[in-house]
Amino acid sequence: MNYRDLFDLTGRDVLVIGAGSGIGRATAQGLADFGAIVTCADSNEDSATSAAAELHALGYEANAATVNITDASAVEDLVNGMSGLDAVVCTPSINVRKPLLDISGEEFDRVINVNLKGSFNVMRSAGKRLAAQGKGSVVFFSSIRSQVVEPGQGVYAATKAGTLQMIRALASELGPQGVRANAVAPGVVETPLTQQIKNQPEWYAAYANKSALGRWSQPSELVGAVVFLVSDAASFVTGSLLYVDGGWTAQDGRFTPPL
User: What positions carry a catalytic annotation?
Assistant: 156
Please provide the DSSP assignment of 196-253 as one string. HHHTSHHHHHHHHHHSTTSSPBPGGGGHHHHHHHHSGGGTT--S-EEEESTTGGGS--
State the Cα–Cα distance between residues 18 and 93, nearest whole angstrom.
9
User: How many C-beta atoms surround the C-beta of residue 28 within 10 A?
Assistant: 33
CA–CA gap between residue 109 and residue 150 (Å, rounded)? 20
The Cα 204–Cα 18 span in angstroms is 24
Cβ-based burial of 236 (10 A; exposed 0-12, middle 13-18, buried ≥19): exposed
Helices marked H in 58-151: 72-81, 105-111, 118-133
Cα radius of gyration rounded to whole Å, the chain: 18
- Cβ(30)–Cβ(226) below 8 Å: yes
**Under 8 Å between Cβ of 179 and 228:** no
